[in-house]
Chain A
Amino acid sequence: MKVERKIQVAATPTEAFAKLSDVKVLASLLTGLMDWTATDEPNRFRTVFRAGPAPLGGEIQLEFWPEAGTVTWQSTKGVHQMGRWLVRPRDDGSEVVFRIFYHLDGGIASRLAEWVFARTVHRFMGIALTRLARSIEAQPPRRRRPVTA
């Protein structure tokens, strides 16, 4: 299953990539992330996501490609997944593309689960891109409307 979302940001590709290449910023973008711990291997992290009823554990290997404006990851444990952050130049700034490919072992039930799960993943990716855009454009986070009596 492939899920893709994109967003326009008012910053140069270099500025946008600088944000993405910071691992702490990258972790802060992801919704449902319960654990993000560096392992002994360089750029390898133990991750735990809240996915439906139970936490989803795994390990990912990050790779940075500054020339291509790309940050990718691939799972080394847990659910088979690949992800990509891609920064492209645009006339009025940059475009950040966020893609996730994932695969669940099994038959028809697994395809159905992928499809059901895709809706949540799609929503979480949208939130991550909005957070990234705010972070790059240095906008304050949206505040809740104060509760009136």
Chain B
Amino acid sequence: MVTLEFFDPSGRLEVKQPHARRLDALAGKRVGFVSNEQWQAYRMLPLLKSLLERDFAGIEVLPIDAFPQGNALIGTEETAEQVKKSGVDAVIIGNAA
């Protein structure tokens, strides 16, 4: 019997920060969208907004253009700052990749 031992080539991962804490409920919360403005986001995200507003009392869902849109802008620190300053409790990111 022969045994070949070799290295796993996938390298290690470093987890540097936890995921955002989830909300206890959606009623009465403030939710925003960060959109790449592609892949039918202009249809799907407004639909999601209307569903949330219909299903949860007191929820405030910001319009899809409340924050900068497009792949060139949504990953910037400036956009992240705007999202933080807006006071939203949660953000939905779309659409596809």
A, B in one complex: no
B residues near A, CB below 8 A?
Answer: none
